[in-house]
């Protein structure tokens, strides 16, 4: 499965997804994402993410999903 690199712009409650590139290995995708974050001069509402997915449709679906925060109970908190 390929790794996809996306630029995500948060516009209110919506996310605008722009595919930057695709990689066969995580190492290359991670290095490129770090370069974008370091040199990109990104606005506060923009993030760069790497995602592993079967295809672009699945990658964009996963990036659009809202993740629930981890519970903050137990001895660790």
> What is the pLDDT at residue 5?
97
What pTM was estimated for this model as a whole? 0.83
The domain limits of the chain are: 3-55
Higher-confidence position of 59 and 68: 59
> What is the pLDDT at residue 27?
97
Q: How many CA atoms lie within 13 A of 28 on its CB side?
A: 9
- For the four alpha carbons of 44, 48, 49 and 55, in that order, the dihedral sign comes to positive
On whether the CB atoms of residues 48 and 35 are closer than 8 A, the answer is no
Q: How many CB atoms lie within 10 A of CB 9?
A: 14
Q: Looking at the predicted structure, is the pLDDT value of residue 65 above 70?
A: yes
> What is the pLDDT at residue 76?
65
- The pLDDT tens digits of the residues spanning 7-59 come to 999 998 899 999 999 999 999 999 999 999 999 788 999 999 999 999 999 99
H or E stretch including 34? helix 26-39
């Amino acid at each position: 499965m390929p790794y996809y690199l996306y630029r995500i712009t948060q516009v209110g409650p919506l996310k605008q997804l722009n595919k930057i590139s695709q990689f066969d290995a995580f190492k290359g995708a991670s290095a490129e994402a770090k370069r974008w974050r370091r040199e990109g001069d990104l606005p506060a509402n923009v993030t760069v993410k790497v995602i592993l997915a079967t295809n672009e449709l699945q990658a964009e679906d996963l990036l659009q999903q809202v993740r629930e925060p981890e519970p903050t109970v137990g001895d660790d908190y």
